Amino acid sequence: MKGEANFLGGVASVKGVKGFDPEAAKKRFFEIYLDKYAKPDSGIGFPGALELITQCKSKGLKVAVASSADRIKVDANLAAAGLPLSMFDAIVSADAFENLKPAPDIFLAASKILNVPPSECIVIEDALAGVQAAKAAQMRCIAVRTTLSDETLESAGPTFIRDNIGSVSLDDILNGGSVGYNKRMQGPETVNNFAQSSSAVVAGKMDDGVRKTTSGTNESILSNGGLQGSRRDILRFGSLGIAISCLVFTISNWKAMQYASPKAIWNLLFGVAQPPLEQKEGNSRSDRIQQFVNYIADLESRGNAQVVPEFPSKLDWLNTAPLQFRRDLKGKVVLLDFWTYCCINCMHVLPDLDILEKKYKDMPFDNEKDSEAIRNAVLRYNITHPVVNDGDMYLWRKLGINSWPTFAIIGPDGKVLAQLAGEGHKKDLDDFVEAALLFYGKQNILDNTPITLNLEKDNDPRLLTSPLKFPGKLTIDVLNNRLFISDSNHNRIVVTDLDGNFILQIGSSGEEGLLDGSFDDATFNRPQGLAYNAKKNILYVADTENHALREIDFVNEKVRTLAGNGTKGSDYIGGGKGDTQADH
């Protein structure tokens, strides 16, 4: 998320803040912004946008958002403004770009995603840098007077100017509007030329959407800071100025900010309980486990480990009845996994948790937010350990968590032993849990009584009656009247006719695996994407959990692996052949 970090870093530079960490500040800024400002009654809005988008879609136009804000903020602002993400054919944000507006990169990316040439796109913008970016991308641009004067906007050369988004008409987009209504037409385009070239609408200003201006002081921060593109305009919106004030206040008065998680700020500034993870050359696994045992012994001797608060009452629990640390979990080593179902990194760690769960039995919890979405994720990913929906983020705040996924390992006395953030910690978690079991086992304080589970997958009638289990993707062979379905959670590919009548399956056992061979012998692991080559009668399969690309040959009735070896890799260069090239 480069956009907000660049902006906050620039403000700190202008103000002379020493040792400022833009990434840490950005995390805190988003927490405050999403909690207090990005809400339906916050004043964020784009009057007339919903109606205009609806009209554009009804005429077959593609609509995109292209913003210099980070994606998390764009999504929040759209939601607060009552604009569903499903309305847009593309949403492009600052996260993946080095060059923000007035550079054309973001608009050009939107054009590419929409599959519409830049010359056939029209941008609606209220920021000077946005108008400049549209012109650099060789797109037509309707500038709106939300925050800037006509003279300022005209200096960037928009196609014409309107008062606000609500005053932009469908006629403006399709035909260039009536001459009398336009403030100024820029360039040699005729009305007919304009009409022929408007195939897509790119909304360029979704950074904040609050129609308020800030004080002269905040204005000077941006002009003196030399911030890039639309960063200069964001301080015109009151919500961001207030959010920055809240950020400064929080850092200065963290003890008073209980709801805003002063613990998270403390953790960012001073670190959290974490064992030394580096493994010395030549040390065995037993040496490393003993290193963790020594760490736990030292932590216990100091007696300053944080005690985990109890789960609040009336939370939604999945796979088990409500649990309490001082009752059900006393005497157990517990692994808390803070995750969200829309985070790909969180999904990556589920196989690691599955391995640890099978090895150590009653161990992990997961912590999430939206109960029904969580339940669907529990079913889809076959999660069999307890899951609690801490929707108000109570434990998140109390433990000072600031990213997904984060693991908190809790001792049998309810104290935090360690916190690890991010994926790729399977070995660390395995060794540390084993060390904790060894340490507390010698003290005879472990309780090995299993936790009673009531798995969601055993109580959902859909899973018992449906022939498919969370099918992922499908594709069609029109010539041969066939439909291919990736039956993801049955680890197979199903072939039916176009009326849904079963023809055959590839991967008959339903077992997870990476095995080539005949249709009966071949195995998959959560297959998803499909692509059919009609000339060769071959179906290509993205075998997701195997991190492999598979080929199904219907002529010879064989399955073979084209790339990947079953291991998630980190090779971002590529060049390997066949199963020697690990997927990433």
Q: Is the pLDDT of residue 337 over 90?
A: no
Task: For residue range 443-485, list pLDDT tens digits in order.
Answer: 899 988 888 877 777 777 766 667 888 888 999 998 899 999 9
**Where are any strands of DSSP class E within 157-199?**
160-162
Between 150 and 552, where is the model more confident? Answer: 552
CA atoms of 204 and 194, how far apart (whole Å): 19
What is the H or E stretch that residue 493 is in? strand 492-497
Between 365 and 577, where is the model more confident? Answer: 577
Confidence of residue 343 (pLDDT cuts 50, 70, 90): low
Place of tokens 């064992």: 275
Confidence of residue 568 (pLDDT cuts 50, 70, 90): confident
Task: For residue range 226-276, list pLDDT tens digits in order.
Answer: 333 344 454 445 555 556 665 665 555 544 344 345 566 565 555 566 777
DSSP-assigned beta bridge partners for residue 365: 336
Q: What is the pLDDT of residue 263?
A: 65
Q: What is the pLDDT of residue 151?
A: 85
When pLDDT is averaged across residues 397-406 and rounded to a whole number, the result is 77
Confidence of residue 49 (pLDDT cuts 50, 70, 90): confident
Could you tell me the two tokens for 409?
């390992």
Q: What is the pLDDT of residue 173?
A: 84
Between 20 and 472, where is the model more confident? Answer: 472
Q: Which of 126-130, 481-485, 577-581 has the lowest mean pLDDT?
A: 577-581
Q: Which of 167-176, 215-224, 480-489 has the lowest mean pLDDT?
A: 215-224
Q: What is the pLDDT of residue 41?
A: 55
| Strands across the sheet containing 140-144 | 90-92, 62-66, 200-203, 121-125, 140-144, 160-162
Task: For residue range 95-106, list pLDDT tens digits in order.
Answer: 778 788 889 999
Q: What is the largest CA-CA distance in the chain?
A: 87
Instruction: Give yes or no for a contact between 209 and 81, defined as CB atoms under 8 angstroms apart.
Output: yes
Q: What is the pLDDT of residue 542?
A: 96
What is the H or E stretch that residue 195 is in? helix 191-196
Taking alpha carbons only, the member of 250, 218, 263 closest to residue 236 is 218
Between 359 and 13, where is the model more confident? Answer: 359
Q: Is the pLDDT of residue 584 over 60?
A: no
> CA–CA distance from 311 to each of 218, 321, 388, 389, 487 (Å)?
42, 13, 9, 10, 37
Could you tell me the two tokens for 46?
């784009």
Instruction: Give yes or no for a contact between 130 and 205, defined as CB atoms under 8 angstroms apart.
Output: yes
Q: Coil, strand, or helix at residue 218?
A: helix
Give the predicted TM-score (pTM) of the model.
Answer: 0.42
Could you tell me the two tokens for 454?
């009531």
Could you tell me the two tokens for 236?
């015109």
Distance from the first to the final alpha carbon of the chain: 21
The dihedral through the CA atoms of 200, 204, 207, 212 has a sign that is: negative
Task: For residue range 318-332, list pLDDT tens digits in order.
Answer: 778 888 888 888 888
β-strands 502-506, 492-497 pairing: antiparallel
Query: How high does pLDDT run on average in the chain?
Result: 75
Half-sphere exposure of 89 (CA within 13 A, CB side): 22
Taking alpha carbons only, the member of 129, 177, 176 closest to residue 153 is 129
> CA–CA distance from 360 to each of 6, 234, 284, 298 (Å)?
44, 50, 21, 24
